[in-house]
């Protein structure tokens, strides 16, 4: 049987994988899976999202499932709406941080969580076996539901609003013309934060910067923080479930460092807890969490897996939360999912509580430098590439939680793993200096390139 779902739902280029008849049939499979239940359908700002959403409506209608339209909103707002309106699940049309030609479909379960991969398999089975239900009567969209207001109210209920207001913060928001533009400015207004906005007009072609916040596309934002003497800047990804911060001196504070700062704050707020973290994050996260009396569980990379693990712990009565190095932070009292605007509110609360700048809080963290890169691996067995590399390093200390992570010594390591959303292999490296990390990253890149070339020659 084929495989449709990757790390975060079904993703592809519109017109290639995402043909209209494919989307229609996928929606029929989804409608069959949710048969007899009530769901929502929402989207991001992509130029193809409205069209895809209409095709999803048509597919769902053909199965008779009951559905609502939650409009254009951040992914976490659609997720929050599932729970808020007491629905059974949802469909989000989004390709998150991918380039504008991409789009995708993500499924939500009862609490608005991304459904586990085992449930996605059931939808795939219906799709490939063409077991679509055919009701006597078609269903139609039951109307619009607002995902944004309840979501913002949810976020502010989890932070000390007065404490934040008293600080008179000044920040910059960069939504990359994505869905954060619909929420983040409203949130900061309520919290009394003076806010500059750049790239804040929703535009599905992402004309300003790529919808993935990367060090190389945040330089202008860094300069702007210094010029305006702001407390920090926040750069969201396209669907606003992830966010990268820039400190008051214009330095990018990568996701695992900002996540470590937030984790420390969360542990102070809630006492003991377990942080669930994807294996591509810096080992500094573990050091910080343990120094605060918490514990860490490392998982495969991917928000679906992190959410699943968090839910498992919460069900046992253990306080758990999560992070990803790419700027995803899962604050579970709000919802057990990545949430860019929740991270923003928590960061404001952290700065207010600690009475320190983001630069100072980052400086207090262990000095470890992590860098990452990627290499194209189209039409190649990426698992085989990883296997061959793992074989090469079998006598080194390593783990296979996701791809292959090789420890050179106590603090230096590299990780090579296939991306779950694109035909690429991602490479990560860490050490205690930027220079050394660059060297390790280059070394890991060369090994990967070499293995890809060897496999291409064999094909
Ligand atoms: Mg995203």
CA–CA dist 389, 393 (Å, integer): 7
| Phi, then psi, of 51 in degrees rounded to 5 | -65, -50
In this structure, the chain runs to a length of 459
48 CB contacts (<8 Å, ≥6 apart)? 14, 18, 103, 204
Q: Is residue 214's pLDDT more than 70?
A: yes
103 CB contacts (<8 Å, ≥6 apart)? 11, 12, 14, 18, 46, 48, 49, 52, 93, 94, 95
Give tens-digit pLDDT for 242-297: 999 999 999 999 999 999 999 999 999 999 999 999 999 999 999 999 999 999 99
What's the rounded mean pLDDT across residues 337-352? 98
- The structure tokens listed for 250 are 């214009």
22: which strand partners?
Answer: none
Q: How far is the CA of 396 from the centre of ligand 1 (A)?
A: 34
Q: Is residue 429's pLDDT more than 80?
A: yes
Give tens-digit pLDDT for 95-122: 999 999 999 999 999 999 999 889 999 9
Residue 266 CA neighbour count, 13 Å, CB half: 31
Q: How far is the CA of 211 from the centre of ligand 1 (A)?
A: 9
Q: Is residue 459's pLDDT more than 80?
A: no
Q: How far is the CA of 237 from the centre of ligand 1 (A)?
A: 6
Q: How far is the CA of 258 from the centre of ligand 1 (A)?
A: 17
Mean pLDDT value across the chain? 95
What's the rounded mean pLDDT across residues 351-355? 98
Per-residue model confidence (pLDDT) at position 1: 56
Give tens-digit pLDDT for 40-58: 999 999 999 999 999 999 9
Are residues 437 and 370 in contact, defined by beta-carbon separation less than 8 angstroms?
A: yes
Per-residue model confidence (pLDDT) at position 194: 98
Per-residue model confidence (pLDDT) at position 257: 96
Are residues 341 and 179 in contact, defined by beta-carbon separation less than 8 angstroms?
A: no
Q: How far is the CA of 328 from the centre of ligand 1 (A)?
A: 8
Are residues 23 and 105 in contact, defined by beta-carbon separation less than 8 angstroms?
A: yes
Higher pLDDT, 69 or 420: 69
CA–CA dist 223, 215 (Å, integer): 13
Q: How far is the CA of 96 from the centre of ligand 1 (A)?
A: 4
CA–CA dist 226, 249 (Å, integer): 6
- The structure tokens listed for 223 are 């300069």
Per-residue model confidence (pLDDT) at position 315: 97
Q: How far is the CA of 42 from the centre of ligand 1 (A)?
A: 14
Q: How far is the CA of 238 from the centre of ligand 1 (A)?
A: 6
Residue 345 CA neighbour count, 13 Å, CB half: 27
Q: How far is the CA of 344 from the centre of ligand 1 (A)?
A: 15
Give tens-digit pLDDT for 390-417: 999 999 999 999 999 999 998 999 999 9
Residues with a known catalytic role: 96
Q: How far is the CA of 327 from the centre of ligand 1 (A)?
A: 9
- The structure tokens listed for 66 are 């009951």
Per-residue model confidence (pLDDT) at position 2: 62
Q: How far is the CA of 393 from the centre of ligand 1 (A)?
A: 33
Q: How far is the CA of 97 from the centre of ligand 1 (A)?
A: 5
Local confidence band at 419 (pLDDT 50, 70, 90 cut-offs): confident
Q: Is residue 157's pLDDT more than 60?
A: yes
User: Can you tell me which residue has the tokens 């944004």?
Assistant: 148
Q: How far is the CA of 336 from the centre of ligand 1 (A)?
A: 15
The CA-atom distances, in angstroms, between 213 and each of 64, 166, 237 are 40, 30, 6
User: Please, what is the Cα angle at 435 between 432 and 437, to 5 degrees?
Assistant: 55
What's the rounded mean pLDDT across residues 335-363? 98
Q: How far is the CA of 236 from the centre of ligand 1 (A)?
A: 8
CA–CA dist 110, 202 (Å, integer): 29
Are residues 377 and 420 in contact, defined by beta-carbon separation less than 8 angstroms?
A: no
User: Please, what is the Cα angle at 87 between 339 and 345, to 5 degrees?
Assistant: 20
Per-residue model confidence (pLDDT) at position 400: 94
What's the rounded mean pLDDT across residues 378-399? 94
Give tens-digit pLDDT for 1-55: 568 888 778 999 999 999 999 999 999 999 999 999 999 999 999 999 999 999 9
Percentage of the chain with pLDDT > 70? 99
């Amino acid at each position: 049987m084929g495989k449709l779902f990757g790390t975060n739902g079904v993703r592809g280029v519109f017109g290639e994988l995402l043909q209209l008849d494919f989307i229609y049939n996928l929606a029929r499979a989804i409608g069959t899976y949710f048969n007899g239940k009530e769901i929502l359908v929402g989207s991001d700002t992509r130029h193809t999202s409205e069209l895809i959403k209409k095709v999803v409506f048509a597919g769902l209608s053909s199965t008779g499932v009951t559905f609502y339209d939650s409009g254009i909103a951040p992914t976490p707002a659609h997720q929050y709406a599932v729970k808020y309106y007491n629905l059974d699940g949802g469909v989000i049309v989004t390709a998150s941080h991918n380039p504008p030609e991409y789009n995708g479909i993500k499924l939500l379960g009862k609490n608005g969580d991304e459904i586990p991969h085992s449930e996605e398999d059931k939808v795939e089975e219906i799709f490939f076996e063409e077991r679509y239900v055919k009701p006597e009567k078609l269903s139609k969209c039951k109307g619009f539901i607002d995902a944004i207001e309840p979501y913002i109210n949810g976020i502010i209920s989890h932070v000390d609003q007065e404490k934040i207001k008293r600080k008179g913060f000044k920040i910059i928001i960069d939504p990359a013309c994505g869905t954060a533009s619909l929420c983040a400015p409203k949130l900061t207004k309520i919290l009394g934060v003076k806010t500059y906005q750049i790239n804040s007009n929703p535009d599905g072609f992402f004309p300003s910067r790529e919808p993935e916040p990367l060090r190389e596309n945040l330089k202008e934002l860094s300069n702007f923080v210094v010029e305006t003497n702001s407390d920090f800047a926040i750069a969201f990804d396209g669907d606003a479930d992830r966010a990268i911060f820039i400190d008051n001196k214009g330095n990018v504070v990568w996701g695992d460092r900002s996540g470590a700062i937030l984790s420390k704050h969360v542990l102070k707020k809630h006492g003991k807890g377990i942080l669930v973290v994807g294996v591509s994050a810096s080992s500094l996260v573990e050091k910080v969490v343990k120094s605060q009396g918490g514990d860490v569980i490392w998982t495969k990379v991917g928000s679906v897996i992190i959410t699943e693990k968090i839910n498992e712990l919460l069900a046992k009565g253990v306080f758990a939360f999560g992070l990803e190095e790419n700027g995803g932070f899962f604050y579970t009292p709000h919802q057990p999912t990545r949430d860019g605007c929740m991270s923003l509110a928590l960061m404001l609360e952290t700065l207010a509580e600690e009475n320190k700048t983001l630069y100072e809080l980052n400086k207090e963290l262990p000095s470890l430098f992590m860098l990452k890169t990627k290499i194209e691996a189209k039409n190649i067995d990426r698992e085989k590439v990883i296997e061959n590399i793992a074989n090469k390093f079998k006598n080194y200390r390593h783990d296979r939680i996701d791809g292959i992570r090789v420890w050179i010594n106590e603090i230096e390591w590299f990780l090579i793993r296939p991306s779950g959303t694109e035909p690429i292999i991602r490479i990560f490296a860490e050490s205690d200096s930027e220079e050394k990390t660059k060297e390790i990253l280059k070394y890991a890149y060369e090994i990967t390139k070499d293995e890809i070339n060897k496999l291409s020659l064999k094909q």
